[in-house]
Structure 1
Amino acid sequence: MTPRVRGRRANGEGTIRKLPSGNYQWRLTLGKAPNGRQLTKCGTEPTRTAAAKALAAAITDRNRGLLPDMNVMTVEQWLRSWLPLARSKLAPTTHANYVHLAERHIYPVLGPVTLQGLKPSHVREFYTGLVEQGYSKSVLRQVRAILCGALHDALLDEIVHRNVAELAQLPQAKPEREGRALHATETQVFLAQARTHRLGVVFEVAVATGLRRGELCGLRWAFVDLELGTIQVRENLPVVGGRPTPGPLKTKTSLRDVPLAPETLALLQAHRARQIEERAALGLPFDPEGHVFTRPDGSRLNPDHLTKLTQTIARQAGLGSVRLHDLRHTNTSLLLRHRVPPEIVSRQLGHSRVEFTLNRYRHIFADEGRAHAIGLSDLLAPTPNAHGGTP
């Protein structure tokens, strides 16, 4: 049954309207809620033809009884229908994480509750349970984002009359693990151990540039200018569902050019030469535009492998727990210790705000505090003013 898209429509046919954005929204009435509000199913498509096809499919599903009764739809049913639609608004890694968190935490507890029966107290008790299990603020914030987003769209579709997730505040949770910055001596020990591994150079580049995990694994020779000494950060390789999947950069400011010091440039030039020899030994061609950090056969790295290798190297070096992301903290703190302007450091990291760089990534090393310890005599001594005198 193909819905009419122009003129007067019969009851149950649904409607299609053009949005200011140029897309087309289709809407099908499914019935009325106990409070008298109409219950609908809707969607947005780029063309009128596509909207008509989607509406026709929804009508078919309704007539076959495949659409759940909105009066008794559960939280799990709604989330399972909402998450695929939310994919276009989310980064691939974020969407995959939302699916995982819904399966692991939300469905077992809130899944059987009907949307109309869900109360703020249900959500608060759910959050409290996560805290008691020891989950961090990060997990709680992500779970809340899922519930708020899903119930917001349910509110727009008039399935519920309020967003109870927005009414339920998060309780105090286990603090997140703070990033660690290795001081200069620790960094030397770590890199010395890293050089005993085939992929040691990737860690040297990580410390020198502060690139993110996905940016390192997604980096290709096409975006390394060995003449100008610049890395163009243009691609990302996040892990989605356990598999490396090329995706967009984390933020708009992540697209940037990172200048290389001569020493780092020489490291990459030597690495490229070794890579060519490595492929030749295996009888494989070298791709001049392929990935910079790869397996011996030239295939791209799984970022998760790099994370595990970081932990292995740190243990072998006697440094305890060190994450790959900690090398980004290390790069930031060492640069700022050497008085590189914060604006430059923040831009090279791909941050949009200098304040975020300083608050999240700047670590004060113990010797910095000692170097700036001032005795009372010096502290109370007159200081020259702008005109050379004393105040």
Structure 2
Amino acid sequence: MAGTGYPKQDKKTGKWYFVIEAGKDSNGKRTRKKRSFETKKEAKMAMAKALLEVQNNRDTKKNVNITVGEYLHYWLENYAKTNTKPKTFAEYEKIVKTHLQPSLGHIKLYELRSIQLQNYYKVKLIGLTAQSVTHHHRVLSKALNDAIDWEFIDKNVAKGAKPPKPAKREMNSYSVEQLNLLLKTAKDRTPVFYPIIYAAAHTGMRKSELIGLNWKNVDFFNQRIYIRQTITEANGKYFFNSIPKNEKPRGIKLTAELLKLLEKLKEEHDKQKEILGDYFNPYNLVFCNSKGNIMAPSEISRALKRALKAANLPDIRFHDLRHSHATILLQANVHPKIVSARLGHSKIQVTMDIYSHMTDSIEGIAVDTLDTLLE
């Protein structure tokens, strides 16, 4: 605790000294004050004075006229920018500048109260999802915890506020017939985005994995693709994310039809390269837009919606193609470990928990098999 201790005598010099903690500096490092005197009485008097100075400094910091908006700017520059990944920082910056600062920025930091945050959540829920508002709460709570460490405030008022509880996202999946109809329709209605939609259905890959897939990670000879990077988007910027060096890249065996599609797509890209040179598809991506640029996640989702509408199919998210891939394999009695490996889950238990609704149908297949084998 800052400002504790009692004068002690140095056995070598015979002088009396004290050491008190004076809090933390702007970088979060602990600071101390140490002074020595000829007598114990002098040390005690000086220590009492130093303690009072420390306490006064703490009180001054509590009442400093910094606003929430000014502090959040300070937090972004002094913590988030140097301690988080670029994509995370971009997300934090967007939340702070687009939402937190405009709504709460005018309030003095030491005057911020839990009820103000509660009202903020209520207003934001009018236009945002509970998931988004909860993310705002987490960012603000982290920033206020750091404000305590830097001794701007003594209490994190976000802990007294109650953020909305996000609803569990419903998982949808298509049958084989529905998925085939979607792929046929997508080929006609959205030919540029058809390959990535087709690949999602045939591999179960995530959108970020598909967007980031590079041609050098496609092994045509062994009919496999390897996931070594993802591309994500935040705050209008793209981020290339490599898998950690200590992790083995995930390999996925290609279906015969997907292999044919990729071979044809590679030929088309090579022809475009001959005409346009390195200006076309500079990142050598497997899936790119007609200009050879990175496919925007929002563009992919809109293309899927157009195909769904044209096929008169129930609405699903792009991520549900991944769920459809897994569900179809499990229904076909493919071992969950194989499914788990294709999806890139860390453990087979993750797969079983997500697709627990498939347990009854899988068990039914097992029982049917036993009926044919045992008398």
Shorter-chain TM-score above 0.5: yes
Q: Structure 1's 217 and 270: CA in aligned 2 closer, same or farther, altered over 3 A? A: same
Asked if 1 retains the 8 angstrom alpha-carbon contact of 2:219 and 2:225, the reply is: yes
Asked if 1 retains the 8 angstrom alpha-carbon contact of 2:95 and 2:136, the reply is: yes
| Structure 1 residues 254-297: Cα deviation after superposition (integer angstroms, max 9, x where no partner) | 942222233332332232123324444x4547889811112345
SS in 2 for 1:293: coil
| Structure 1 residues 115-158: Cα deviation after superposition (integer angstroms, max 9, x where no partner) | 22222232233223334x26333112211110111011111111
Q: Structure 1's 241 and 289: CA in aligned 2 closer, same or farther, altered over 3 A? A: closer
Asked if 1 retains the 8 angstrom alpha-carbon contact of 2:281 and 2:291, the reply is: no
Computing the radius of gyration from Cα coordinates, the structure with the larger value is: 2
Query: 2 CA distance for matches of 1:213 and 1:246?
Result: 13
SS in 2 for 1:244: strand
2:97 corresponds to which residue?
Answer: 103
List gaps (5 residues or longer) in structure 1.
Answer: 1-13, 18-23, 41-68
Q: Could you tell me which amino acid in structure 1 is paired with residue 146 of structure 2?
A: D
Query: 2 CA distance for matches of 1:357 and 1:134?
Result: 33
Q: Could you tell me which amino acid in structure 1 is paired with residue 185 of structure 2?
A: Q
- Percent identical pairs in the alignment equals 26
1:86 Cα deviation after fit: 0.9
The answer to whether 1:189 aligns with 2:210 is no
- CA-based RMSD: 4.2
Alignment of structure 1 residues 70-89 onto 2, 5 Å:
71-84=64-77, 85-89=79-83
2:172 corresponds to which residue?
Answer: 180
Query: 2 CA distance for matches of 1:228 and 1:274?
Result: 21
SS in 2 for 1:237: strand
1:153 corresponds to which residue?
Answer: 146
Alignment of structure 1 residues 329-368 onto 2, 5 Å:
329-360=323-354, 364=358
Query: 2 CA distance for matches of 1:220 and 1:207?
Result: 18
List gaps (5 residues or longer) in structure 2.
Answer: 1-23, 34-52
Aligned residues, how many? 328
Asked if 1 retains the 8 angstrom alpha-carbon contact of 2:67 and 2:105, the reply is: yes
Query: 2 CA distance for matches of 1:270 and 1:346?
Result: 29
Query: 2 CA distance for matches of 1:172 and 1:251?
Result: 36
1:240 Cα deviation after fit: 2.7
SS in 1 for 2:230: coil
SS in 1 for 2:251: strand
Choose between structure 1 and 2: higher helix proportion. Answer: 2
| Structure 1 residues 294-332: Cα deviation after superposition (integer angstroms, max 9, x where no partner) | 234533323332222112211122124332222122222
1:217 corresponds to which residue?
Answer: 211
SS in 2 for 1:236: strand
What TM-score results when the alignment is normalised by the length of structure 2?
0.72
1:183 Cα deviation after fit: 1.7
Q: 159-168 vs 175-184, which deviates more?
A: 175-184
1:88 Cα deviation after fit: 3.9
1:237 corresponds to which residue?
Answer: 231
The answer to whether 1:325 aligns with 2:319 is yes
SS in 1 for 2:111: coil
The answer to whether 1:37 aligns with 2:29 is no
Asked if 1 retains the 8 angstrom alpha-carbon contact of 2:218 and 2:224, the reply is: yes
Query: 1 CA distance for matches of 2:26 and 2:363?
Result: 69
1:221 Cα deviation after fit: 0.8
| Structure 1 residues 6-57: Cα deviation after superposition (integer angstroms, max 9, x where no partner) | xxxxxxxx9899xxxxxx969899xx898752778xxxxxxxxxxxxxxxxx
Query: 2 CA distance for matches of 1:201 and 1:338?
Result: 24
Q: Could you tell me which amino acid in structure 2 is paired with residue 187 of structure 1?
A: L
Alignment of structure 1 residues 42-53 onto 2, 5 Å:
none
Q: Structure 1's 157 and 16: CA in aligned 2 closer, same or farther, altered over 3 A? A: closer
2:10 corresponds to which residue?
Answer: none
1:189 Cα deviation after fit: 0.8
Asked if 2 retains the 8 angstrom alpha-carbon contact of 1:148 and 1:165, the reply is: yes
| Structure 1 residues 70-118: Cα deviation after superposition (integer angstroms, max 9, x where no partner) | 7121211111121233134434343323222223332233222222222
Asked if 1 retains the 8 angstrom alpha-carbon contact of 2:205 and 2:343, the reply is: yes
What TM-score results when the alignment is normalised by the length of structure 1?
0.70
